[in-house]
A and B are shown apart, each in its own frame.
Chain A
């Protein structure tokens, strides 16, 4: 019976997303990541299409977060971490020396596992990115960006009367939506989400999931999740990682019903991980 529920949610997720023609947004070729001498990711090839929700699943330590963090070069901030291979965003190599990593991260935003609002007011949290990149000419414009971002994140009605209160005073789920609002305030093209719901309760999780589905109309979303039902509910395609390898990537429906690799089947049926 649970299988039926899953299938039903798969069908609806597919229905919501299959009216886009796939357009290549990012592509990775033979991406390897080394922490010091040890290789954490053994040559990943993956294409990401515009306006899709792509989920990464796999057991802990399989390299899915590591790969995600390659996509906006957040791995650069880790000492001793080295990335080889080629990752393109709209046909440009993002590891090219001439590319400014700061601009890359403005185009490829990120939402983290634990909500991490800055110890500033709600308004300042959202205005932070637009100010950095000079997206607003005037205070009125900035106000508008803040309102638009919060509205898109479904948070406006809850916080509009207390924009000057600290963002750290919100509940966990609100904080995570604040972080999503903060990410979309700089108008990124791709949003990377690293287990965004793992610290949230089921109700907050449902809200964030709904938000992700809505956001996929305008953004490309790559999401790492430990929750396979979540992957099934919100993603169009799913990639399964195991021991630093990308085992297979396919339509979510296919991964969860007729996976082509036995390891994938073992994982989704709960035989390991």
Chain B
């Protein structure tokens, strides 16, 4: 049976969306699916080494997740890579615009990737956008 492919596009910098993206990506990855996570826009700065995971909440639920000690989204993304062989690819355009040096990114991220390459990777995959 062909491996199910999932592409998770993460552009938001809000806690709820980052959390949902991380939960979906990590569980899909450890369930045998081939997962590619494409980080762009407001999601990217959280993946600079040592950056805070204190993303602003969209609503009450984001605050509740902090109070209740839900696993933080960066831990889940890292586990998607380490336990489920997911790939996390930062958007090269977002890095250029924000002036972020690739060397400053978390070591579990892959190579900066442009849209042409991403669209190639996404061919035949389910694409989920957060």
A and B: bona fide binding partners: no
Chain A residues close to B by CB (< 8 Å): none
Chain B residues close to A by CB (< 8 Å): none
